[in-house]
Amino acid sequence: MFKRAPIAASIAAIIAVTAAAGSALAQAGDVNVYTYRETKLIQPLFDAFSKETGIKVNVISASSGLEQRIKTEGALSPADVLLTVDIGRLEDAIKAGISQPIVSPALDKVVAPQFRDPEGHWYAISMRARVIYASKDRVKQDAITYDELADPKWKGKICIRSGQHMYNNALIAAYIAKHGEAKAETWLRGVKANLAQKPAGGDRETARDVAAGKCDLGIGNTYYWALMMNNPEQKAWAEATKVVLPTFDGGGTHVNVSGVMLAKHAPNKINAMKLIEWLAGEQAQHIYADTNFEYPLRAGIAINPIIASYGALKPDSLPLAKIADNKKAAAALVDKVGFDN
């Protein structure tokens, strides 16, 4: 199997791949997007953008490390736009120095001030809330506060994914920001004591566990429930539960955003700005609402009926940046109370 012909063929393959790699490098006139949002979710958006503007969108999607990649690539980085979820990540990216302010009066008109960085380093383009999937059969309450999750009456009844996952990290950070670390610790210990099982899996598994009767309350994001409703195999899990929009004591529901940033060394800045503004435009916001089941951030775009069926969302008034400020404290608290152990 190591005769000459295969070796020649292999060398040809190397050359071919290298050549292909060369041609894959960004072309001028495109826009290059680094994203934490999955390709499948955002490809419809990019396709629509390309169709409308003729600008090709090149994509890299990953789960972590993109800020570090852009930072290391430095001045040569092909990145124009960074799309990410979670306010903590947006603020981390600013700290990493990989962004530049977006200057766009058009965006300022449609994105409310609480959903953008004061200096314009990020703009939120969609929103989700962290809510409760409650068993329809076993939970009578229609309103539950986040504080109540620590109430011993739910002992052995709560399912949740890892406390170190960014969705939970942000929720805990918000609690710290609102009530201080000491109270947050008592609360988190209480929640921990109520868990039916060790934190694991994802939000869909949480819903599945509630449906299966392992627990009565599950913590999950708003769009997962809608996605499950639209999946024939998972519809039963959603249908066994009702979505309750919990609130902080004297506050609203914990929300987080997905946002967009302009890379510091963006080689295609003009196209990048077009894409960023387009993402806040009507067509894109409709896609966010009806395909991704998120809350659109542009005023006047209808929320998807499934999401609307949860009831009227009252986002908590805490500035998002405060959540990011308490990210590390939340991670440390999760460690301290051994939430995931």
Where in 37-56 is the site for another protein (CB under 8 A)?
A: 38-41
Selected binder of another protein within 113, 182, 233, 312 (CB under 8 A): 233
In a 3-state reduction of DSSP, which class is residue 230? coil
Binding residues for another protein restricted to 144-173, rule: CB under 8 A = 162, 164, 166, 169
Question: Could you count the other beta carbons within 10 Å of the beta carbon of residue 213?
Answer: 12
Per CB under 8 A, which region of 10-18, 143-151, 176-184, 314-322 contacts another protein? Answer: 10-18
Residues contacting 243, CB < 8 A, separation 6+: 131, 132, 133, 134, 222, 225, 309, 310
What is the separation, in whole angstroms, between the first and last Cα of the chain?
50
Asked whether the beta carbons of 126 and 296 are under 8 A apart, the reply is: yes
Q: Minimal CA–CA distance to 71: which of 124, 34, 102?
A: 34
Type of residue at 111: V
**Residue 22 C-beta: closest distance to another protein, Å:** 7
Whole-angstrom distance, CA of residue 101 vs CA of residue 119: 6
**Using the rule CB under 8 A, is 136 a contact of another protein?**
no
Binding residues for another protein restricted to 65-84, rule: CB under 8 A = 65-66, 68-69, 72-74, 76-78
**Using the rule CB under 8 A, is 28 a contact of another protein?**
no
**Residue 103 C-beta: closest distance to another protein, Å:** 26
Of how many residues is the chain composed? Answer: 341
Binding residues for another protein restricted to 299-318, rule: CB under 8 A = none
**Using the rule CB under 8 A, is 132 a contact of another protein?**
no
**Residue 306 C-beta: closest distance to another protein, Å:** 16
DSSP secondary structure string, 29-71?
TSEEEEESS-HHHHHHHHHHHHHHH---EEEEE-SS-HHHHHH
Binding residues for another protein restricted to 234-263, rule: CB under 8 A = 234, 237
**Using the rule CB under 8 A, is 178 a contact of another protein?**
no
Selected binder of another protein within 4, 5, 20, 300 (CB under 8 A): 20
> What does the longest C-alpha to C-alpha distance in the chain come to?
76
Whole-angstrom distance, CA of residue 271 vs CA of residue 302: 28
**Residue 130 C-beta: closest distance to another protein, Å:** 15
Phi and psi dihedrals of 309, rounded to 5?
A: -70, -15
Per CB under 8 A, which region of 115-123, 270-278, 302-310, 328-336 contacts another protein? Answer: 328-336
Binding residues for another protein restricted to 198-227, rule: CB under 8 A = 198-205, 208-209, 211-214, 224, 227
**Using the rule CB under 8 A, is 5 a contact of another protein?**
no
Number of residues that bind another protein (CB under 8 A): 73
Bridge partners, 243 (sequence order): 133
